[in-house]
Amino acid sequence: MKELDGKVAVITGAGSGIGAALAAACAVEGMRVVAADVDAAGLETVVAGIASAGGEAVSQHTDVRSRDALEVLAERAWGTFGGCHLLCNNAGVMVNKPLLELEEADWRWILDVNLMGVVHGIGAFVPRMKAQGGEAHVVNTASMAGLSAFAAMGLGAYTASKFAVVSLSEVLAQELAETDIGVSVLCPGAVVTRIHESDRVRPTDLEDAAPSSLSADANPESVPGAQTAEETAQVVLRGVRENRLHLITHPEMKGVVEMRHRAILEAFDSAAADR
């Protein structure tokens, strides 16, 4: 989808971080923006910033754990702007705990937001996008942790959710290959956002989990080579225009992914030798 001007972008997790940067970048391109998040105050700041710069945006309080909420978001996009051409399933949260310390409440929150939020977005929007006709694009936010396992800082649950988003996106791209709807999966390395402060938006019904025993600093700003959210947004827009499936922000992490795939290929060689 090379032409963005005049199109409509819907972005979840738009109240801060990558989502907020995407909303601003889309508005600069001349897109009309529907910004969604559970953080109402953050949303209003983002929408006000777009308006003050001459862009057009509306906000919609949305809990991506709910399919009904995504249906309402879709109705808002079509009712306000007449469609959706770029869907960014970007909402995400993080829990920093070793696997053996994770409680069911932790797993439910991580998977309901990071994975089911994407599932709900696809289910609510893609049929409508197909029906409206013309070019469109879906961007699902995963992580470099969706391409290689990271045990550091207790990212087990987060990594599991992001691996699922990568595979889901790859299948969706195959299923939509004969349509005008492109698919991308964003796999960023360290980006300066507030995801390490995810507990600020943790729902009250899932607040009973015990704190982590980890003392590691999960703040992305502490990671060498951390990228700004604005830089990441530009990676996304380039990827949309070029219809790239995998969107990578940190090429220097290629070796980590190669190491994982090399181990898998060696396992095939071992299986062949055993046979």
- The residues facing 138 across adjacent strands are 87, 183
Q: How far apart are the first and last CA of the chain?
A: 47
Task: Name the packing angle between helices 229-242 and 17-28 (round to 10°).
Answer: 60
Regarding beta strands 136-141 and 181-187, do their DSSP bridges make them parallel or antiparallel, or are they unpaired?
parallel
Which listed residue (158, 168, 181, 253) is catalytic? 158
Closest by CA to 61, choosing from 42, 82, 48, 89, is 42
Reply yes or no on whether 158 is catalytic.
Answer: yes
Dist CA 223 CA 81 (whole Å) = 39
- Residue 72, burial from CB neighbour count under 10 angstroms (0-12, 13-18, 19+): middle
Centre a 10 Å sphere on the Cβ of residue 219 and count the other Cβ atoms it contains.
16
Catalytic site residues?
158
